[in-house]
């Protein structure tokens, strides 16, 4: 989804992950930006076929597919089988896939690429400008985010203050500042 207009000078992306850790990233320059959050629920791994299959996924496995072939060289003559031969004999237990396939022959070979789908425990957040990735981060799911569009140097609801750090200013939340002032005022009145 697109955020901010061409005449905005910057965008402030603020996101919170499943561990309740919040991070903010400011993008300056050409607007708009696109931001998306997706599950990380697929991975690829390669097997040459010369050892039993033993793979752990980051979450509970829901499906496995493969492309490529497996060759049993020690057979006379050598036998070439599709990698699905291995999957037909595989055992999937939660986040682990194992398969014994004539592993007595150490000279088996193959060129097999497996794709494992699993229940996501992580999200990836990505920001794009003109279709190119300008930022990405992987965090514990779920990730929630908001984008504030900046016409000057700070978004609405923030106060601009000078700073010795780049870019020479910082943005302070007006609501946080108001709360801090109210707490100090109450503290002084109670003395």
The SS3 call for residue 103 is coil
Contact in structure between 123 and 39 (CB atoms under 8 Å): yes
Number of domains observed in the structure of the chain: 3
- Is residue 70 located within the same domain as residue 87? yes
- Is residue 67 located within the same domain as residue 133? no
Judge whether residue 49 has pLDDT over 80.
no
For the ranges 43-52, 90-99, 173-182, the maximum mean pLDDT occurs at 173-182
Residue 142 has what pLDDT?
92
Cα-only R_g, the chain: 27
Lowest mean pLDDT across 15-29, 35-49, 119-133: 35-49
Domain range holding 25? Answer: 1-38+123-153
- Is residue 112 located within the same domain as residue 47? yes
- Is residue 129 located within the same domain as residue 109? no
What would the pLDDT profile of 86-109 be if each residue is shown by its tens digit?
788 888 888 888 887 655 555 666
Judge whether residue 165 has pLDDT over 80.
no
Residue 107 has what pLDDT?
61
- Is residue 50 located within the same domain as residue 103? yes
Q: Is pLDDT larger for residue 190 or for residue 51?
A: 190
What would the pLDDT profile of 127-150 be if each residue is shown by its tens digit?
999 989 999 999 999 999 999 998
When pLDDT is averaged across residues 8-17 and rounded to a whole number, the result is 92
Judge whether residue 16 has pLDDT over 90.
yes
- Is residue 83 located within the same domain as residue 55? yes
Last residue of a domain, one of 118, 141, 165: 118
Residue 80 has what pLDDT?
77
Element at 87 (helix H, strand E): helix 84-88
What would the pLDDT profile of 59-91 be if each residue is shown by its tens digit?
889 999 988 887 766 555 667 778 887 788 888
Closest CA to 103 of 52, 44, 28: 52
Residue 102 has what pLDDT?
58
Residue 40 has what pLDDT?
84
Per-residue tokens: 46: 């390669």
């Amino acid at each position: 989804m697109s955020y901010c207009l061409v005449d905005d000078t910057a965008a402030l992306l603020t996101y919170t992950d499943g561990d309740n850790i919040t991070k903010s990233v400011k993008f300056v320059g050409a607007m708009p930006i696109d931001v998306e959050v997706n599950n990380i629920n697929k991975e690829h791994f390669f097997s040459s076929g010369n050892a039993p299959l033993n793979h752990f996924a980051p979450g509970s496995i829901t499906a496995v597919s493969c492309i490529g072939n497996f060759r049993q060289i020690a057979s006379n003559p050598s036998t070439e089988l599709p990698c699905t031969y291995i999957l037909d004999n595989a055992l999937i237990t939660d986040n682990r896939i194992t398969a014994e396939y004539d592993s007595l022959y150490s000279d088996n070979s193959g060129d097999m690429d497996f794709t494992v789908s699993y229940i996501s425990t992580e999200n990836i957040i990505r920001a794009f400008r003109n279709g190119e990735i300008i930022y990405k981060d992987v965090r514990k799911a779920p990730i929630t985010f908001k984008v504030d569009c900046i016409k000057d140097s700070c978004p609405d609801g923030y106060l601009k203050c000078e700073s010795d750090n780049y870019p020479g200013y910082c943005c302070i939340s007006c609501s946080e500042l108001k709360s801090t002032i109210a707490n100090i005022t109450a503290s002084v009145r109670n003395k």
